[in-house]
Chain A
Amino acid sequence: MNAFIQTQALKKTYQLGDQRVEALRGIELTIAQSDFVVFMGHSGSGKTTLISTIGGLTRPTEGSVSIEGTDIWRLNDRELSAFRNRKIGFMFQSFSLLPSLNVLQNVVMPVIFRKNGKREKTDAIRERALSLLAGLEMKKKIDAHPSELSGGEQRRVAIARALINEPDIILADEPTGELDIRTEREVIEIFRAINSQYRKTIIVVSHSLSWLESAKTVIIMKDGLMHLDVPDPVEALMGRACRP
């Protein structure tokens, strides 16, 4: 497999008072470009720590994360920020949007932190944002503020924002958490479309089994270890033994 994202001996240990918690215990992972990976597992299994380490948000205790050949944890703060801004689009379960900004401003917000952001014309950025919002059926609400949007609408805006800088990777942590089944389905469809149409590499962390149908790769996380090629993820999540 052509390694687009690769982790080597990735470990993360937290010190919680007197207790040491090994959130990641030597993760070896390779993700190809345009893959659609879903991490599933119980709370505390280490899945969020893994994608935040891949996304350059949490520094690992040991090991490395390489994206397109760049060891991201060797970059300094400014380089890593620029890398995240350029290469990765993030989506979080809650507090995804800044309440002081309207929909359009939230979508274009990552552009202001782009190193070459000044070179791109404001009109071009605005057009791209409007196009993304139109594709997500949110064009009519560009002036609305987050408090005026439903949960599903907020996720769509967050997706548009994640795409505004045309990143190669979308990292989403519980993107359908707290959503009803219908809206969850819509959001998953959007992710699938992004993966198939724009060829973006998508990495999702979720508890929801609804993602199983859409993902190309499903990885079960348990006790800081990764379980690939699980024949029956549902069984695995129900607590049956799975092969590391």
Chain B
Amino acid sequence: MKILRLAVLDLVRRPKKNGLLVFAIVISVALLTSLTIVSNSATSSILEVVSKTGHTLTIRPVITAGIDEADKSALQNLTISEVVFGKYIPESAVPQISRIYNKAIREGWERKGGLVSNPGIPVISIEPPTWAPRLYTKAVVDGHEAIVTGIDVNKEYFVRFWWNLSSGEWPADVDVKNVNTRIDAMYVMGAGGQVTVEKPRYRVDEEGKAVYDEKRRNSAGDSDQVARDFAYAHGAGDENKDVAYLGGAYASARGLKVGDTVTVESRRFRIGGVLEETNSADDYMVFIPLIIAQHMFHREGYISLLSVRAMCPNCPVGDAMVELNRNITGITAVSQLDVAGVQFDFFNMLYRFLLAVVIATIAVGIFSIFNIVAGSLYVRVREIGLLKAVGASRFQLFRIFLYEHLIIGAFAGIGGFVAGVGMAYVLNSLLGIGSVVRIVPSVLWYALALGILSSLFAIYYPAYRLSGIKITDTFRTQWEV
């Protein structure tokens, strides 16, 4: 038999008292664990938004009181993120938007010290942005109301590079093979003349020059390209005009799969693909070709939303947003990066407040644990006296308590982690954070450490005092003067 076994046997003998102690620590650990998980999850979600849309600007109509009466009934502004019904941007405004945007980006880069599209220095470049228009409508799909969104699949795929199909295929004309939709290439010359490579997106040819897609290269900086893009969207993809794509949640809720058909109003569409869920409004939408949507809903020449993806890392999208809002009335440009930043600041403030509350709770909890431990130890004084009498040194006694509370702490840490995960789901739901609960493995180690430290902290002083108690004091009722 060893000291560890002695400690374990002693633990087993007092299931209620030790269970109470474990429970007290579990509560503390669970509180902190759940808060950490919720915080991590929310932060990850926000960062995910930043990483997805950090270079994206969304432009939508301004919501004002002067809405046409006929549109009023259809208007449910901002019910789902960026989705606005009943207000539109005319396509004719897009070239002006594009010009202001490009100018702001270029000037922003120059102000930052970067050189943009400098002729003669081929490694310094900035790709033209990609514009993806949308038309939102509420329509009857197979007898039920749903959000039907007209999109240009090519553009949409390029702007929303996080889109993936869980089943089905993209239209044949979507260049998914040759275009790496993630920004992974950029040659940048700094103000001092040094050239750095920031996630190069494009291949480099034998001469060290960037290789561009010729079609896109020719259109670099050309605002008219936007208009051509619309023409392309309106006219191209005839073979795909009756193909719809479904958001993951919508398809799942309705049990629809690739190859099935959906009837939007009176027109049938074959389901060409189902998107993976992205924790966004897209999950609940039915996507049909933009030109078809404009025609079906009598909105030719109008769009509800314009997403612009700047094709460079750290593009001064905020500058473009300011310029657009300043120069064009009737639209609102929103930088998702800024939105995420506001969300992040708010959540950070909330997190710090909750953390303070939890730490105060843990401090009170640890004193309760301390009292439980002290109480449970002081009833063991005679046992301690016996152990000392048979030769246990102070250090050996201390080791017994240490082992006992390491075990209690470990159990409490694991229990606290499990309870904390459960609480995280509840908290996430109650606070309406709306992010997916992400459990990082390191949280388990933190929970374990907190459980053990709480337990050891609570035991240290009573154990120190008791291990040094005089043997005769422990037998006070028996050992006479």
User: Contacts of A59 on B, CB cut-off 8 Å?
Assistant: 470
Whether the Cβ atoms of B396 and A113 lie closer than 8 Å is: yes
B344: CB under 8 A from chain A?
A: no
A97 to chain B, nearest CB (A): 8
In the complex, the answer to whether B395 meets A110 with C-beta atoms within 8 Å is no
A14, A16, A81: most-surrounded residue (chain B CB, <10 A): A81
Task: Tell me if B394 and A77 are in contact (CB < 8 A).
Answer: yes
A40-72 interface (Cβ within 8 A of B)? 43-44, 46, 48-49, 52, 55, 57-59
Question: Is the CB of B390 closer than 8 A to any CB of chain A?
Answer: yes
Q: B382 near A: Cβ within 8 Å?
A: yes
CB distance from B472 to the nearest CB of A (A): 5
Q: Does A21 contact B (CB under 8 A)?
A: yes
| Cβ proximity bits A95-124 to B, threshold 8 Å, 1 near / 0 not | 110111100010011111110000000000
A98 and B391 form a contact (CB under 8 A): no
Residue B10 CB within 8 A of the other chain: yes
Within residues 83 to 102 of chain A, which ones have a CB less than 8 A from any CB in chain B?
84-86, 90, 92-96, 98-101
- Say yes or no for A212: interface residue by CB 8 A criterion: no
Option from A77, A85, A174 in Cβ contact (under 8 Å) with B390? A85
Query: A220-238: which have CB < 8 Å to B?
Result: none
Known: A58-B471, A82-B393, A113-B390. A98 touches B480 (CB 8 A): no
A173 touches B390 (CB 8 A): no
With A81-B393, A86-B391, A100-B10: A58-B472 Cβ-Cβ less than 8 Å: yes
**Residue of B389, B390, B472, B479 most packed against chain A (CB within 10 A):** B390
Give the chain B neighbours of A114 by CB distance below 8 A: 391
Interface of A is mostly: mixed
Asked if B179 CB lies within 8 Å of chain A CBs, one says no
With a CB–CB cut-off of 8 A, which chain B residues contact A98?
Answer: 10, 383, 386-387
Query: How far apart sit A77 and B475, CA to CA, in the bound complex (Å)?
Result: 19
In the complex the two chains form, is B471's CB within 8 Å of A52's CB?
yes
A78 near B: Cβ within 8 Å?
Answer: yes
Interface presence of B356 (CB below 8 A): no
B478 within 8 A of partner (CB):
yes
Contact call B13/A100, Cβ cutoff below 8 A: yes
Please tell me if A23 contacts chain B, counting CB pairs below 8 Å: yes
Our count of residue pairs bridging A and B at CB distance below 8 angstroms stands at 98
B481 engages A21 (CB within 8 Å): yes
> 0/1 per residue, B229-250, Cβ < 8 Å to A?
0000000000000000000000
Contact A112-B13, Cβ < 8 Å, known A81-B392, A84-B390, A98-B383 = no
The complex places the Cα of A99 from the Cα of B13 at a distance, in Å, of: 8
Task: Indicate if the CB atoms of B471 and A81 lie closer than 8 Å.
Answer: no
Residue interface mask B28-44, A partner, CB < 8 A = 1? 00000000000000000
Which residue, of A95, A112, A114, has the highest number of chain B Cβ atoms within 10 A? A112
CB < 8 Å: which of A55, A78, A108, A109 contacts B395? Answer: A78
Q: Chain A interface residue count: which class? A: 35 or more
A92 to B387, CA, bound (A): 12
Cross-chain contact of B389 among A78, A90, A101 (Cβ < 8 A): A90
User: Is A111 within 8 A of B475, CB to CB?
Assistant: no
Complex Cα distance, B481 from A16, in Å, reads: 10
* A49 in contact with B481 given A98-B386, A105-B1 (CB within 8 Å): yes
The interface residues of chain A lying within 8 Å CB-to-CB of B382 are 95
Scoring B residues 292 to 310 as 1 if CB is less than 8 Å from chain A, else 0, what string do you get?
A: 0000000000000000000
For window 371-389 of B, CB contacts with A under 8 Å fall at 382-383, 386-389
The reply to whether A92 and B386 contact each other, CB–CB distance below 8 Å, is: yes
CA distance A165 to B393 in the complex (A): 16
Closest approach, in angstroms, between the C-beta of B293 and any C-beta of chain A?
Answer: 76
A193 vs chain B, min Cβ distance (A):
22
CA distance A17 to B388 in the complex (A): 27
Chain A interface residues toward B at CB < 8 A: 14, 16, 21, 23, 43-44, 46, 48-49, 52, 55, 57-59, 77-78, 81-82, 84-86, 90, 92-96, 98-101, 105, 108-114, 161, 165, 173-174
A-B contact pairs, 26 of them (CB 8 A): A48-B480, A49-B479, A49-B480, A52-B472, A57-B472, A78-B395, A81-B388, A81-B391, A81-B392, A81-B393, A82-B391, A85-B392, A86-B391, A90-B390, A92-B478, A93-B478, A96-B386, A98-B10, A98-B387, A105-B1, A109-B387, A110-B391, A113-B392, A113-B393, A173-B479, A174-B478
